[in-house]
Structure 1
Amino acid sequence: MNHSSDNITENATNNITRHVEVAVIGAGTAGQNAFRAARRTTKNIVIINDGFWTTTCATIGCMPSKLLIAAASRAHDAQHSDQFGIHADVQIDGKQVMARVQAERDFFANSVKKQVDSWPEHKKISGRAHINKDGLIEVNNELIKADKIIVATGSSPFIPEGWTDKLGDTLLTSDNIFELSDLPTSMAVIGAGSVGLEMAQSMARLGVNVTLFNRENRVASLQDDDINKKAIDCLARGLTMKLKSKVEDVGTCSDDKTIENKKSVAFIKYKDREGQVQEWQGEYVLVATGRRNNIEQLGIENLDVELDDKNRPKNLDINTGQIGDLEVYIIGDANAHIPLLHVASDEGFSAGSSVCPNNTDANLRPPSIPLSIVFCEPQIANIGMTLPEVKDSGLNYVIGKVSFDTQGRSRVMGVNCGLLHIYSCKETDKILGASMVGPDAEYIAHILAVAITNDLCIKELLDTPFYHPTIVEGLRTALRDVQDKMSIPYQAQLTQEDDF
């Protein structure tokens, strides 16, 4: 770090309460992994955390959202089994739904907390850290000098300016939606990313009157227009979506029916895709417009770290999180590189290994192949390079395709809506990337990620067994389509292959 002891003022030096080799700021997934990895070779370490000592995933993210999705899937299957000759009268107990979400969420969070509780107390500090102009960490009543600093302060939901005051108690984010004691009657969801899609569809399937708004005519940030169009088609069958709509204003107004309870309802004024001004009213507004890294108020500039106009650190080593040649590492959501749990986990391990004095490159985990999954139904997945990246690469590529509308097992299960595109290089016979909406996308995505990671060619994948009848057979159909297009003009029509 550029802030050597020579640069620290004499007054600051006299007030230092602790000198450590490594300080980790933030105790989420990335921070915890960094702390564990660094502790293997140094005992002179401290971890500082403001807020809960669990992880975003366990407490307010991945796990509670999947619990809500699980309840919604049960309700949807029970309500939509007529095609199988099964008719049911479904009663949804909103309080019981949310009680299970919270109880199971607490189970996962407590499991993480138990690990943290096993760490020595003198190595943990609860409080908000700030890095002062001398490059020292101020927290509570301590002034800590750290030879190496790992920043893992995570991220927070982004809320447009003024909306918190305008919406008041009707405003929800992914940080507080799982604290509801009952399912709401109505809800607007703003943003069609992973959080927005998952929450909008789940709430709608559980009987909530949901409207999803998004500025673009796009969902899940899909970059392949055909996959995006198919995803919209599949999702719109059970979800009201106002895509290509611009929110002009938000606020609350009195609800005449409950005026004695002084209850307000939320409203949204927006321009629809035709440019007409419309208004929505309902109980809550879930703002799912993305997350921003928690780095701005940390004082990171006092470590000579430069940020770009989107608050992302410059000169970032995507493998270790190190900033240039500084002894500063910014990892997980804090660096805003790829804000996903498995990436944060790997970055934490690599950063924690890098700061160890006996570290070798063999201890470092290489950057993962890009992999993202949205757990709506049908699921959406992206693996490897996006279609625009493939086009910009200058490589000679083909696109293998399969529709799940007619795929055997998908029709058997009544989940036959979807499309898979595999982008492959003609010269190397290797997979560059893929995009998909469809059933079992989470499993197909992992197979493709393994193939790309291990540099497998199309033939090697096709030589592996595909059990019949499975939805994964759709992957084989797309791979066969790739193989066919390697030797014939790309304009050839897709031939659907399935074994019945």
Structure 2
Amino acid sequence: MTKNNNFSCNDAKKENAIKNNQISRHVSVAIIGAGTAGQNAFRQAQKTTENIVIINDGFWTTTCATVGCMPSKLLIAAAERAHDAKNSAEFGVSGDINIDGKQVMKRVQKLRDDFTSGVQRQVSSWDDDKKIDGRAKINQDGLIEVNGELIKADKIIIATGSLPFVPKAWAENLKDKLLTSDSVFELSDLPKSLAAIGAGAIGLELAQAFSQLGVAVTLFNRTQTVGGLGDDKINDHAIDCLSKDVVMKLGCDIKDVGIHDDAAFIRYNDSDGKAQDWQGELVLVATGRRNNIKALGIENLGVELDDKERPKNLNINTGQIDDLDVYVIGDANAHLPLLHVASDEGFSAGSEVCPNNLGAYIRPPAIPMSIIFTTPQIANVGQSLQDIKDNNTNFVIGRVDFAKQGRSRIMDVNCGLLHIYACKETDRILGASMVAPDAEYLAHILAIAITNQLSVKQLLDAPFYHPTILEGLRTALRDIQSQMQIPHQVEGSEDTGF
């Protein structure tokens, strides 16, 4: 609970009120957390419920705008400029390349602040009496304690987000040599060397971006996989493509981290079990983010958590827990910690708490889709290959290797592989996995196809403009048709794009 340093008589009265369970406010809806999910829930619920309050501890923007999607893409944009400039000699374009690290980070921070200021302006437009800046805690009676107030809420929406996970010993040993996704964008200049631990979305994106900007980067990961890829061939191809920019130490076991002679070090066993050492300027720990709802006292609302601190009995449409008047949404429920999912869950929860659900509109859960903005990009859509196998589905895999794809070769971005999984009995797309140029667009097209249950034939009936990278999608779809032996015209299984 947050306390003012100048503890006044009024503060003492508030503390006594809490001790005596004297309720200072009774609201229809209380929202705890003001990130993407919480803000969407507030906007939606406020349409029908005036007696509402939103409580937030920390910045009143969003993880995406402040420390996530937007600043990382700003860094990636600079990295792509540098990469293209340094690798254009084959095109007949060459010259001296100078990377000004201070200017790189200055632009990242300036535009990041522009994005967050837009969010802050929107929050500032809300009524002051509906906003509380402070750390909430739920007491044993299910009441919300915050800033010396005691609030009773008929319905509670919890959207407290997540925080970077760093093993305690690592944080203690690395001290100011430690970076996380919450602190990395505050750098005033580019480091000379960097270790990135973790080959998920954050680790891959930042490791490659810093490397392309001239930083000596080594990426460590406990397993031999990158980007959460479950298709072995796509995973192997991704490693081959990304290894051109980043030194990768996969399948390694980190034994110790720390500081020696003002340099960060990592001691680890490589994939062969041989002891190795790394030494450099900074260590970025990108081992995932964890929700922080346990410290909130959520068990006092009747909510049970599993061994990974995820709420049990979660309605993935609305975030409601069982039949309780409690909703856990966004990163707080650790279901799918993605912005578009948090946004939809916030909208649905805000609708669900409408009086008598009047006017409620619950958005159906989106199909799984993830995109990692490396070069080439990594994307997964729909069911994974393992899910399909576990369901004993009769399926085929449509493939395209972008090495020979026309527009990809023209652009010199032809390192990539796409697998599309299709049901052999229904001619429907089940899912896809890829490391590919323009994967963000390929993934969206396939997500629309899966959402609307389009057949392979219907997708092929649509035009594919020439020459585009998206023609590679047609190659994979034709490969599916040829394997299904469907009596449609098949013009060949390989599309070179010309």
Q: What corresponds to 1:408 in structure 2?
A: 406
Task: Tell me how far apart the structure 1 counterparts of residues 21 and 462 of structure 2 sit (CA, whole Å).
Answer: 66
**Aligned twin of 1:28:** 35
Deviations 1:63-91 (A, max 9, x none): 00000000000000000001111112100
The correspondence for 1:239, drawn from 246, 249, 264, is 246
Partner of residue 281, structure 1: 279
Question: Which residue of 344, 347, 369 maps to 1:349?
Answer: 347
Specify the code of the residue in structure 2 equivalent to 1:384: G
1:300 is aligned with what amino acid? I
Displacement after TM superposition at 1:359 (Å): 2.4
Point out 4+ residue stretches in structure 1 off by more than 6 angstroms. Answer: 10-13
Residue 328 of structure 2 corresponds to residue 315 of structure 1: no
Name the counterpart of 2:133.
126
TM normalised by structure 2 equals 0.94
Matches within 5 A, 1:416-427: 416-427=414-425
The equivalent of 2:195 in structure 1 is 188
The offset of 1:495, in angstroms, is: 3.6
Q: 1:138 aligned to 2:145?
A: yes
Matched with 1:61 is 68
The correspondence of residues 65-144 of structure 1 with structure 2, limited to 5 A, is: 65-144=72-151
Q: Which amino acid in 1 is paired with 2:364?
A: P
CA distance in 1, matches of 2:20, 2:362: 34
Which amino acid is 1:285 matched to? V
Write out per-residue CA displacement over residues 315-353 of structure 1, whole angstroms, 9 at most, x where no aligned residue. Answer: 000000000000000000000000000000000000000
Corresponding residue for residue 179 of structure 1:
186
Partner of 1:371: 369
Where structure 2 has 5 or more consecutive residues not aligned to the other structure, the ranges are 1-16, 487-491
Q: What percentage of residue pairs aligned between the two structures are identical?
A: 68
Shift, 1:499, TM fit: 3.9
Q: Pick from 298, 301, 309: which aligns with 1:300?
A: 298
| Letter aligned with residue 102 of structure 1 | Q
Task: Mark the CA change 1:414 to 1:14 in structure 2 (over 3 Å): closer, same or farther.
Answer: closer
- Give RMSD over aligned pairs: 1.3
Cα distance in 2, alignment partners of residues 202 and 360 from structure 1: 48
| Contact residue 41 and residue 358 of structure 1 kept, 8 A | no
The equivalent of 1:462 in structure 2 is 460
CA distance in 1, matches of 2:83, 2:394: 43
Structure 1 residue 12: Cα displacement: 6.7
Separation in 2 of the partners of 1:37 and 1:65? Answer: 29
- Matched-pair contact (CA < 8 Å) for 1:477–1:496: yes
Q: How far has the Cα of 1:360 moved from its partner?
A: 5.5
Gap change, CA 1:156 and 1:11, over 3 Å in 2: closer
C-alpha contact 2:46 2:52 (8 A) present in aligned 1:
yes
Aligned residue pair count: 477
Give the SS at the match of 1:281.
strand
Deviation at 1:361, TM superposition (A): 8.1
Deviations 1:14-68 (Å, cap 9, x if unpaired)? 5100000000000000000000010010100000000000000000000000000
**2:442 maps to 1:435:** no
Alignment of 1:452-491 (within 5 A): 452-487=450-485
Matched-pair contact (CA < 8 Å) for 2:18–2:150 = no
Alignment partner for residue 210 of structure 2, among 203, 208, 218? 203
Deviation at 1:395, TM superposition (A): 1.1
Q: Which residue of 2 aligns with 1:48?
A: 55
Q: Which amino acid aligns with 2:343?
A: S
Q: 1:13 to 1:487 in 2, by over 3 A?
A: farther
1:363 aligned counterpart, secondary structure = coil
Alpha-carbon deviation of 1:394? Answer: 1.2
The 1:412/1:43 distance shift into structure 2, 3 A limit, reads: same
- Give 1:270's aligned amino acid: Y
Which digits, 9 at most, give the CA deviation of each residue in 1:405-459, with x for residues without a partner? 1100000000000000000001110000000001000000000000001110000
Whole-angstrom CA distance in 1 between matches of 2:346 and 2:18? 34
2:235 maps to a residue whose letter is N
2:254 maps to a residue whose letter is V
TM-score by length of structure 1 reads 0.94
Check whether the contact 2:36–2:343 (CA below 8 A) recurs between aligned residues: yes
| C-alpha displacement of 1:13 | 7.4
Preserved contact between residue 377 and residue 437 of structure 2 (Cα < 8 Å): yes
Letter of the 1:425 partner, please give it. C
